[in-house]
Chain A
């Protein structure tokens, strides 16, 4: 039963010690990234590496540009006409921000789960199968759907009603359906933009657990405003904060990026410490 409440301790216990940083394989290499809406910068000068098969959390106060930042990784900001960005995000060796790179190809490798569950108005089965079908992964579609739903810890709850509408599920189930949909097309990286912010604690825990179980196969980047969540799921944590300019303009900035344990127990920056200890103004 995936709906039983398991104590947080069990999630903690599953965390394996992180290998030393030099043995980690970078997936993304972000170099002086600025993300700008019109003339207003949302985040400025971010540089960091994101490592394979880890969960990387991005935390910070509202308005620090976390969501804008994570949406740079799959070119989702392209949909906003006034948006532009400078700097580079290298995915392995390719700069995915370059104008000659097709965002469709980027998103094909880098999947996304959104803040609010957004299943298609289709059946549960088709929610997962449609993407595979359109992208040409038509062989053994039933197995593929079952595998994705199992990985998303939803199979047992929906296996008898695959033809029912995806919208008939509860919020937590819908979000797991969206995760199944994202991993069914076998991306390399899964971006999660506050995936549990609209969910109750039980559904939240189910999602955290499945991130633990799936990170051997995928690389996760998760934006969260919930520090406990970052502490529970993330191997690496990046703390973003809001900086203010001389004329009152505000933008988000990467303050500190380190192993989660370090960020929460021995942060190197006063602002990080203030935030993780709840003294943030």
Chain B
């Protein structure tokens, strides 16, 4: 082959443009990573002085004039309870909605309800908060349960949407295999389709939990007038990490600020762990399905 054959019009320019675009894409990736790194690092640095076991185990002592150790155990307990109850509410409903839409509903209903889910997913958290406030809180007081209800509303479309997506990934051949044996559709869904989709549903749930764990606005309306004692009882208003961060940030005491940063750092860690768990579950499930 002669050199003549390889000569292409404007090759040098193309190469330069290609190089430029590649560098821009690389830069964008670096920026995304850098932002995360800066956020994590600055949160950790500012909360470092209060980042210890006391933060998790000791109750807060407001207006404390001594150096007695204090923490935010009430907020951690409250977040665990409220997010846990919210998941218990949203998960079954979300899965059932998804199963109905993907397995049983005619296409027209599927599109219609799918649109409703998208709208619900777009409702701002503060609107959900004030809705639950008017519906449940006004006149009867706050409670962890009501906060969980507000978070469940936020979780529901998220869980339903991801479940629909994983159900749609279950090959039709599997449904046909079961139906072809003369097995009723409900049994096919329960024993063949859902187990196959379980990993994906779990992944979606973990991500939904991570998402609402940091919600503040709905909880301000529903579960924010709280004492400093650690309580696990969702019938009472419970302190939560996001609300605690919000309140501590308004305190004049710099130690409170540090505690807010430290709590924020733990929330970040939690979300990071949840995402990693979700990924791990997804790969493990994919491997299990492939029969390896």
Question: Which residues of A are interface residues toward B (Cβ below 8 A)?
Answer: 74, 76, 79, 81, 103-109, 111-112, 114, 116, 118-121, 130-131, 134-135, 165-168, 178, 181-182, 185, 187
Contact = CB atoms under 8 A, between A and B. Distances in A.
21 contacts: A76-B180, A79-B176, A104-B183, A107-B181, A107-B182, A108-B181, A111-B181, A111-B182, A112-B176, A120-B174, A121-B174, A121-B196, A130-B191, A131-B178, A134-B181, A134-B183, A135-B181, A178-B177, A181-B177, A182-B180, A182-B181
Given A81-B106, A118-B171, A104 B182 contact: yes
Nearest to A74: B180
B255 interface: no
Given A114-B173, A134-B187, A181 B181 contact: yes
Contacts of A106: 182
A256 B183 CA distance: 35
Interface residues of B, number: 27
A105 B178 contact: no
A9 B291 CA distance: 38
B76 to A, nearest CB: 39
Interface in B180-233: 180-185, 187, 191-192, 195-196
A118 B291 contact: no
A104 B184 contact: yes
B179 A81 contact: no
A131 B173 CA distance: 16
Contacts of A185: 181-182
B287 to A, nearest CB: 11
B193 to A, nearest CB: 11
Contacts of A103: 179
B38 interface: no
B107 to A, nearest CB: 6
Given A114-B180, A135-B182, A167 B106 contact: no
B6 interface: no
Nearest to A127: B177
B135 interface: no
Nearest to B110: A81
B191 A134 contact: yes
A108 B182 contact: yes
Contacts of B288: 121
Contacts of A181: 177, 181
Contacts of B195: 121
A107 B180 contact: yes
Interface string B143-183: 00000000000000000000000000001111111111111
Interface in B273-292: 288-292
A116 B173 contact: yes
A118 B182 contact: no
Contacts of A111: 180-182
A76 B179 CA distance: 8
Nearest to B288: A121
Interface string B241-275: 00000000000000000000000000000000000
A18 to B, nearest CB: 28
Given A121-B291, A166-B291, A167-B290, A135 B183 contact: yes
Given A104-B182, A167-B291, A120 B177 contact: yes
Contacts of B191: 130, 134
Given A118-B173, A131-B181, A185-B181, 7 more contacts: A108-B181, A108-B182, A109-B182, A119-B177, A121-B195, A131-B183, A182-B180
Given A121-B196, A165-B291, A168-B291, A79 B179 contact: yes
B69 to A, nearest CB: 52
Contacts of A168: 291-292
